[in-house]
Structures are given as C-alpha cells and as structure tokens.
Chain A
C-alpha cells in the first residue's frame, strides 16, 4: 500500500520552511512516497536573503572554526550512519554500496574540513614585484553560490556539490530534484551542526521552472551546475548571467584544489616599504 512516508520542508536561514506557494511534489523511493517542497521564485528570493546573512556570519568565522564546524558535521553524519544507509537502500543501492557511499561521504567532509584552514596557503602568495613594495595576493569567498546538484542517489555526491563553495567561505543555496529526500534529511544534521543559519540552504523543486529567476537574480554571485542539463538551458543561464556578470560554472570538479577555484576572488594589496 502506497502511503506518504514523510513530508519534508526546505531548510533556509537555519529554519525549516514550507514553500510559500504551499505546493509540494512527490518522490517515490522503494514504493514509498515522500512529499517535498516545490520551491517557487519567492522561495528563491527568501533563500537569497538568508544566504546573504549566512555569508556574513560564515565568513566571519576563523578558518580554524570552519574546520571544526565541518569536522563536527562528519562526526554527526557518522552518528546517523544507519539512517542514511536505510535511505540509500530505499533509493535503490545495495547494502554494501550504501555503506561505501556513506564512508566516502565522511572521508569527503574530513578532506574539506582539513581544507578550510589551509586552502589560502595553497592559493595565495607574495608577488615579487619590481620596486620597494610589499605585494600580496590573497583570496576571498565570492558570496552567495547557487548549486544545482546532480541527481545521483549518493550522499557523497550530494556533499561534494556543497562542500567546495562552503569550505572557502561562500554561502550555498543547494537545489535538489530527484535526490531531495536525501538532501532534506541531511538538512537535519546541518541544522544540528554549528554552521551559522543561512550558510547552507537546502531546497527541493524543479529547476526548469525557476531557471530564469535564478539566473537573473543579481545577488546570486555564482552558479555551479553539477547536474547534466540541456545545452539551451546552459545558454539561457549564461545569457542571463551576463547582465550582472554572474559567474557560471558547468560541471566543475568536485575534489581537489581545482574544486575551489570557481568560488574564490583574488585581492592584491600593495604597500610601500620605507622609513
């Protein structure tokens, strides 16, 4: 008998919220239905407001604090191992694959946790300019980043779509479609972690309904598309992005130093050296 297992809410600004439209859509996992929010353009607008506040709060934490927050998230995920395992199995993975996926997810968080207090040492440097000047290039986070997550039923994949932008200090609006149940479940662990409200926002919906609004929203600084989308969608996104020079990244890498490149802005400072 098909019954609704659970109704999930979006996770925005540190709170669980329904879509202001009241609408939901149904996801079926192993013959059970889940109702998840059908995010509207107003929800997107609210998420951006929350993400801006979240960016300010998250960015302020020292790199060491960020490491600790992310490491704690890994501890929490491990604590809820069985819950995720069950969800992944419901989504069609074998027991062995589900376990492997969660182990990989924990290892990914640990990798990124230990990256938060180091990446600047990899990307920044002194510049040997001619003249009596001290010149240094260092990096800052871009701001509010929208990610369209891949639909793979994988906790590791989901986290790898959120962590790069988050680790360098951006706030993230993570948009999910068929994998929303997993994503909104993860929101509970995010909520219990020390991540400031608004730093990571998790939404469910249908991207094609919102593609215009999202790509036109001036306060979304960058979009990272981790899901395979049609070429004309890519074109539309990039055309709309050009109006405010929004940065667009199609299928960026999810691991390695290169995963961080899209989400940082370089600032170079000069200062004379003299008595």
Chain B
C-alpha cells in the first residue's frame, strides 16, 4: 500500500486539492447538523446551545403539514424537469447528429446552448416581456388574433406554475444536456452504422436501433446522478418566480428553508429541514440505482 502510494505520489498530490476541497466544504459542514438538535443562537457557540432533541423535526412533521405540499411540489417539479431535460436533450442531440451541414449543426448547437448562460434575473425579465398578462408579447398576439379575450396570467396563476418551471428549465438546459449526448454519440463505433447500412437500414432505423441504444448507458448515469439532486431545486428560479398567487404550486423545500430558517434567524429549524431533504435524497438515489440495476443491469454503485 505504502509502496503503491509512493510510486504514484504525484498523482495523489494532484488529487489532494480536490480531496481537501470536498472534505472541507462537504464533510466538515456535516458537523453543523448538530444545531438541528439544539436551540442555536447566531453569535454564540453551537456547543453551548441548549439541547432540544427532535423538537425541530417535530415542528416540521407534527405541528404542521407543510411537508406535504413541499415534498409534492419539490418532487413533481424536479422529476418533471429531469424527465423533460433528459428527453429533450437526447432527442435534440440525435436530431443534430442527423444534420448534414456542419455549419448549421454548429449554429444550432450554439443557439440552443446560449440560454444556459443567461441569469435567472434576466430570464424573469424575458419571461415578463413575453408572458405578462397585460403587455406580454404572446398574450398581445393571442388577444389581437381573437384566440383569448384577455391575457393569461402565466406568471401569477398557480395552475401554470409547474409548466412554467419545467418549460423555462428546458429552454435553459436543453442545449447543455444535448452536449453530453452528442459526446456519447461521437463515441459510437462507426462499424455499427456501416453494418446497418449493409443491412439496408433507413436513417430512422439507424437512429432507433443504433444511436439511441448506445445512448442508454449515458442516460442511465445522468438519470441516477440527477436523481440525487431531485430535492435540490434551483433556488434562484424559485426565489424570483414564486409570488403570493402561485406559492401553493411553486414553493419548494429550498425556499421554505430560506423563508422559515434563514430569514427568521431560525438556523436550527432550517438545518432540521435540510437534514430531512438530504435523507430523502439519499433514499431516492439508492432506490433509483437499485431499480436501474434490476431493469438494465447498469448502476453507478
């Protein structure tokens, strides 16, 4: 072992910063979980805080039923986002691969990738310009053409909250996700396409029988990795787009932690809800990995 370490010392030294980083920023903060079991006051040592046992968890699960709609919103929105993003990314990558013009392919890739770099604040302004009930471009066109009498309040009404979240995430992430699939497509051996050509396969059949099956392992890995984040919502999006008329469908665990924890100075409560989130995420990722192993024989651990 020591001999192995010595022989590969430079490799391990190069790895050290990453290990230190993960240890400092992902493992050391776990000690802070202890404040979920105390009545922690900012400014005082967390070790001096009064012990409260499971009080914070009781407040979350027993004294309120907030967890019901929070888990519903968080799970539904994030699962829909994962499914939509992966599906659109995969379809878009496959279609891009079929383009004959290299210039047009690069252009499409760049255009679809661009929204990924737009901040959520700017995205809100763009959404407002297009979707505002009274002056939004889309509403104005629909009213002008006589399809609707007055504008639809997409940004305000609860029933549009989930489609809005999924749609905007898809718009921002499709180009980014497709890059991963495009990389996987380039790794498909050309012999498979040549064999399909000899067998007289059409372009659609090659897509269905060669390209897509070769992308399944990548899809599974991304799906499992993403499922670990299924309870971690895009804070900026929800912070900006949640309002008093759509909160019932839009408020997610991360915003709840912010509202009831950080804004109210209740760090103990925020940590307790954060722990719940972590535990549920862990259960989800282990379950999906197990399901994947059973269904496809593939998993990441």
A and B: real partners? no
Chain B residues packing against A (C-beta within 8 Å): none
